[in-house]
Structure 1
Amino acid sequence: MRFYNSVGPNPRVVTMFMAEKGIEIPEVMIDLRGGENRRAPYNVDVNPAGQTPALELDDGSVLTEITAICEYLDERFPAPALIGTTPEERARTRMWTRRIDIKICEPLTNGFRFSEGLPLFEPRMRCLPEAAAGLKAVAQDGVRWLDPLIASREFVTGDALTLADILLFAFLDFGVSVGQPLDPENANITRWYDRMKTRPSANPN
Structure 2
Amino acid sequence: MKLYQSIGPNPRVVKMFIAEKGLDIPRVDVDLLGGENRQPPHMTRNPSGQTPCLELDDGRHLAEITAICEYLEETHPTPPLIGTTPEERAETRMWTRRVDLRICEPMANGFRFGEGLGLFKDRVLCVPEASPGLKAMARNGEEWLEGQLKGPWICGERFTLADILLFGFIEFGGEVGQPLDPGFKKLTAWAERVCKRPSVAASA
Q: State the TM bucket, normalised to the shorter chain.
A: over 0.9
CA deviation vs aligned residue, 1:66-98 (integer Å, no higher than 9, x gap): 100000000100100000000000000000000
Q: Which residue in the other structure is 1:61 paired with?
A: 60
Q: Which one-letter code corresponds to 2:37 in the other structure?
A: N
2 CA distance for matches of 1:144 and 1:178?
19
- Kindly report structure 1 stretches of 4+ aligned residues shifted beyond 3 Å: none
Q: Which residue in the other structure is 2:137 paired with?
A: 138
Q: Which one-letter code corresponds to 2:70 in the other structure?
A: E
Q: Which residue in the other structure is 2:160 paired with?
A: 162
User: Shift in Å at residue 200 of structure 1?
Assistant: 1.4
CA RMSD of aligned residues (A): 0.8
Q: Which residue in the other structure is 1:51 paired with?
A: 50
Alignment of 1:29-178 (within 5 A): 29-44=29-44, 46-150=45-149, 152-178=150-176
Over the matched positions of the two proteins, sequence identity in percent amounts to: 60
Q: Which one-letter code corresponds to 2:83 in the other structure?
A: G
2:24 aligned with 1:21: no
User: Shift in Å at residue 104 of structure 1?
Assistant: 0.2
Q: Which one-letter code corresponds to 1:173 in the other structure?
A: E
SS at match of 1:179: coil
CA deviation vs aligned residue, 1:141-169 (integer Å, no higher than 9, x gap): 0000000211x301000101100000000
2:11 aligned with 1:11: yes
Q: Which one-letter code corresponds to 1:187 in the other structure?
A: K
CA deviation vs aligned residue, 1:119-148 (integer Å, no higher than 9, x gap): 100010110110000000000000000002
Q: Which runs of 5+ in 1 are unaligned?
A: none
> How many positions carry a matched residue from both structures?
203
2 CA distance for matches of 1:54 and 1:42?
9
2 CA distance for matches of 1:23 and 1:115?
36
1 CA distance for matches of 2:172 and 2:53?
20
Q: Which one-letter code corresponds to 2:114 in the other structure?
A: S
